[in-house]
Amino acid sequence: MKLYRAVPIPGFVDQQRKVRHEGRRLPSNIPYLVDNMWEFTRPASMPSRRHAVYASPTVELALECASAAGVDRAGYVVCELVFDKEPPTIQLSVKDARRHNDVPNVQRVVNGLLNRWVESDLANKSTLAALFLPGTSKEELIGAMDAQPRLKEIVLEASKVVTLWKDVPSADGEFFFEVLEGNGYVLTKI
C-alpha cells in the first residue's frame, strides 16, 4: 500500500533519507491527557505515537490533514513514502487522530472524576499532574499511580474508554508508523 505525507516546503529535500527520531514526540493536535492515555494503553506490538510518523492513504487526505503551525495549504509539498523495509504500522478509524472519539471520551471520563477533587488544595491536585504532563511514559505513569491511589483510579477508569488500539480501520483512516532502528524511508515528491 502506498502512503503519502504533506510536509512544509521550507526545509523539504526531495529523496532525503529519514530515520528514527529518538526524542519523545509531543502531540500538537491531541491533548497531553489523551496522548498519555494512548501510550499507557498501547499494546507492545503497536507503534508508539511518541516516535511516530503520520501518513495518509491518498494524496488528497495527506494535504487535508497537514497541520504544521503557520503553514497554509499552498505551503506544503505532498510526497510518497518509500521505506527500506515495512515498519510497524496502524491505520485509524478516522482521517486524523485529532478527530478520534477517544479525544472527547477520555476527557469526559477524566473531567467527571476530577470534579470530586476540584475543591482540593494544590498539594492534592498536584498528585494527579502526571496524567496531564507532556510525554508521560507508561512507566512514569505507573510509578505515579503506585504512589497515588486517586491517580490510579482515574487512569484505570479512563483506560476503559480508550478504543484507538482496537478500532476497525477506515479506508481513509490516518496511518502512523514507528521507524525502528536500522530502518528508514525517503519522501519522494509527487
Q: What are the start-end ranges of the E strands in 32-112?
A: 52-55, 76-83, 89-91
Quick one: cell of 20? 528514527
User: Does the pLDDT at position 116 exceed 90?
Assistant: no
Q: Greater confidence, 117 or 77? A: 77
Q: What pLDDT shows up at residue 69?
A: 66
Beta strands in 84-146 (DSSP E): 89-91
Q: Are 52 and 28 in contact (CB under 8 A)?
A: no
DSSP-based three-state secondary structure for 112: helix
pLDDT digit string (tens) for 2-39? 999 999 998 899 999 999 877 888 988 899 999 999 99
Residues 37-83 pLDDT 10s: 999 999 999 999 998 888 999 999 998 888 776 777 788 999 999 99
Residue range 112-135: mean pLDDT, rounded: 87
Residue pair 169/51 in contact (Cβ under 8 Å)? The answer is: no
